[in-house]
Amino acid sequence: MSSHVTTTEPEADESLMLRYAAGDIAAFDSLYGRHALGLWRYVFRSVREQAVADDLLQDVWFAVARQANTYRPTARFKTWLFTMAHNRLVDYVRTAKHHASLDDDGGDDEDETGNPLARTLAAESGFGPLRQLQSKEQAVALMAAIENLPPTQREAFLLQAEGGMAVEEIASTTGVSFETAKSRLRYARNSLRERLQELVWMS
């Protein structure tokens, strides 16, 4: 007689958000645990200042709490969340007239989790199987290549790499056409792929 092991699928984000709207604080904790790190990386890599990123993220999560009662799962929760972060970034740039410095030393360029963003340049970002970079110097160089992308290309890439967004979702979030979003992503991939190949040859 064979025994069956029952596996429980993780509860969908949208269901958790609806439970939070109904007063379940633990549901919010689950959503935060799932998405806080990826959202932080997206915002931090956009502004390159930890204090600013922390403030913006606090605003985003407060907005999640404020809008819970009006939330409707018409799109993926993750898309809704990253769209709010995008809008907050746009507001910040507009009001502060601030642009991240490309030569700013942001400290340790390795991801604060010990998981370099280079590792997220995987299949969904069009890179296929990715050889892990062999040294911190290479990881730093690749991060610099991401930071040196034109802002619109960098944002499209980060929305896919960190937000897991499809091209349609990137287009909707950034307010551009599908073809424009696709083009930005393609140029970003090509630039980073070229840089990645250089780094591999240098190793």
CATH code where residue 201 lies: 1.10.10.10
Name residues of the chain where pLDDT drops below 50: 98-134
Whether 4 is in a domain gets the answer no
Q: pLDDT at position 180, please?
A: 95
| Interval 87-109: pLDDT, tens | 999 888 887 654 444 334 444 43
Number of domains in the chain: 2
* Residues present in the chain in total: 203
The parent domain of residue 40 ranges over 11-104
Domain boundary among 47, 74, 104: 104
Whether 2 is in a domain gets the answer no
Residue 84 belongs to a domain with what CATH number? Answer: 1.10.1740.10
- Catalogue the E-assigned strands of 27-182: none
Whether 181 is in a domain gets the answer yes
Alpha helical stretches, state H, 67-177 = 77-96, 136-147, 151-161, 167-174
Same domain, 92 and 134: no
Q: pLDDT at position 112, please?
A: 40
Kind and range of the H or E run holding 167: helix 167-174
Q: pLDDT at position 200, please?
A: 57
Same domain, 100 and 158: no
Whether 35 is in a domain gets the answer yes
What is the C-alpha to C-alpha distance for residues 126 and 35, in angstroms, rounded to an integer?
Answer: 22
Whether 109 is in a domain gets the answer no
